[in-house]
Amino acid sequence: MDQERAAKSSKIGESIRRARKSKGIGQSDLAKQLDISFQMLQKYEQGVSPLPSDRLLEISEVLKVSLDDMLQIPKVRRQGAAPNPFKMVAVLPEEGRLIELYRGLMSAGAQKVFMNLLELLPKKEKR
């Protein structure tokens, strides 16, 4: 693992440890829920082993912590960013799933492909 990747793994591992401890869950208990050894969980928390994205998602679901929090993405809107027009809009479960899938993509390129595919689908007629 290169230095930058190791630093990111360590940061994510610390987030997992903090979330686990705040919920009062031991390493062995969380490892059982994830069906992994406590040693593997220990390696994730220490940033020694790379954490697959599907495992990170599973950990965030078990601990009931958002991926944004796990990845330590700031909640403060960047200066100059456009306001969110969807802030107070009710979202159907299917729409929420689309958002989850989009956010789960690992790169901006993959997100762009996702959006381009959606743009190609037939649209509802406006009334």
pLDDT digits (tens, 9 = 90+) for 7-30: 888 888 999 999 999 989 999 999
- 75 lies in some domain: no
pLDDT at position 77 is 46
Predicted TM-score (pTM) above 0.95: no
Mean pLDDT score of the chain: 81
64/105 same-domain check? no
pLDDT digits (tens, 9 = 90+) for 42-53: 999 998 888 888
H, E, C per residue of the chain: CCHHHHHHHHHHHHHHHHHHHHCCCCHHHHHHHHCCCHHHHHHHHHCCCCCCHHHHHHHHHHHCCCHHHHCCCCCCCCCCCCCCCCCCCCCCHHHHHHHHHHHHCCCHHHHHHHHHHHHHCCCCCCC
Q: Print the domain residue range for 125.
A: 86-127
60/96 same-domain check? no
91/66 same-domain check? no
pLDDT tier for residue 59 given thresholds of 50, 70 and 90: very high
